[in-house]
Amino acid sequence: MSVAHLVNSRIIDTHIHFDDDRFDPDRASIYQSARSQGVCAMVVPATIESRFTKIQHLATQYPGVFPTAGLHPMFCDHHLPAHLDTLAQTLHNCVAIGECGLDKSDQQTDLKQQRFYFGAQLELAKTASKPLIIHARNAVEDVLLMLKTAALSRTSGNGVIHSFNGSLQQAHRLIDLNYRISFGGPITYPGARKLRGLVESLPLEAMMFETDAPDQPGHAQRGMRNEPRWINQVITSAAELKQSTITQVASASNKNAISLFDLPESLLLGS
């Protein structure tokens, strides 16, 4: 299966940091090349409060860019409780709350702070009925516990665990709580057995695909700045693993994203 097959398909990059400063020098051409490769929409998660305005602005400038607002667990040193108010006030223009969650990697910030901000965003999701974009690095079990306690019940899905790296059993527990599971560039690495096994085993109805650009480049771009157009390679790998067609995988991911984030279906129409 070649990546070229995707050129005529439409695909949503469900997690891309399009506001990242690393895109400042050539954002317009990054956008154009993604569009020409079939990327019809990008969901852009926020990390800290001071980025909210930039993301909102990008959404007015670039058709198909959908903003979110959230306070990322890796940046607790930047967050203030007042930022939760800004977040609440920004939400009417956002398709989700995120990126939020917990991070227990080496670079972790204070876990108590992380739990405070994640808990507050879960509450906000409940009152505003918005889906969550969740980061759960080395912390899937802790995240699961908080999601269980929060007991959200949004009909079209409570959110997505992005760049999932937990176990199959944990993925199923998340799906049972009405969360989607998302995968990106790491599944394109032939040696990523555990991740690739997850994609093989999980149902397409529960999965979405993303780039997380400019981070997490795929195997063919390792060491480089990741770009939204390379979502095609993530989809191609997923199709191989699912022994499915690129079109089937792309449309399943699109369908899940449209329903979860309440995006316009018209995104998938036209050339």
Q: Which is nearer to Zn ion, 165 or 248 (CB)?
A: 165
Find the binding residues for Zn ion in span 76-135 (CB under 5 A). Answer: none
Count of residues that interact with Zn ion, criterion CB under 5 A: 1
Specify the residue for token string 């991070």.
Answer: 103
Closest contact distance (angstroms) between CB of 151 and Zn ion is: 25
Closest contact distance (angstroms) between CB of 48 and Zn ion is: 12
- H or E stretch at 117: helix 111-128
Specify the residue for token string 């993303």.
Answer: 210
Closest contact distance (angstroms) between CB of 17 and Zn ion is: 6
Distance of CA 246 to the CA centre of its chain: 20
Which SS3 state, helix, strand or coil, does residue 64 take? coil
String marking each residue 166-205 x if it binds Zn ion according to CB under 5 A: ----------------------------------------
At 111, which amino acid appears?
Answer: L
Closest contact distance (angstroms) between CB of 99 and Zn ion is: 5
Q: Measured between alpha carbons, how far is 208 from 15 in angstroms, rounded to an integer?
A: 9
Q: Which is nearer to Zn ion, 64 or 70 (CB)?
A: 70
Find the binding residues for Zn ion in span 204-223 (CB under 5 A). Answer: 212
As given in the structure block, the two tokens for residue 228 are 């939204």
Whether the CB-CB separation of 229 and 39 falls below 8 Å is answered with yes
> Counting Cβ atoms within 10 Å, is residue 127 exposed (0-12), middle (13-18) or buried (19+)?
exposed
Closest contact distance (angstroms) between CB of 259 and Zn ion is: 21
Q: How far is CA 83 from CA 45, 100, 105, in A?
A: 15, 13, 24
Q: Which is nearer to Zn ion, 212 or 227 (CB)?
A: 212
Q: Which is nearer to Zn ion, 183 or 268 (CB)?
A: 183
Q: Which is nearer to Zn ion, 142 or 212 (CB)?
A: 212
* Residues of this chain that bind Zn ion (CB under 5 A): 212
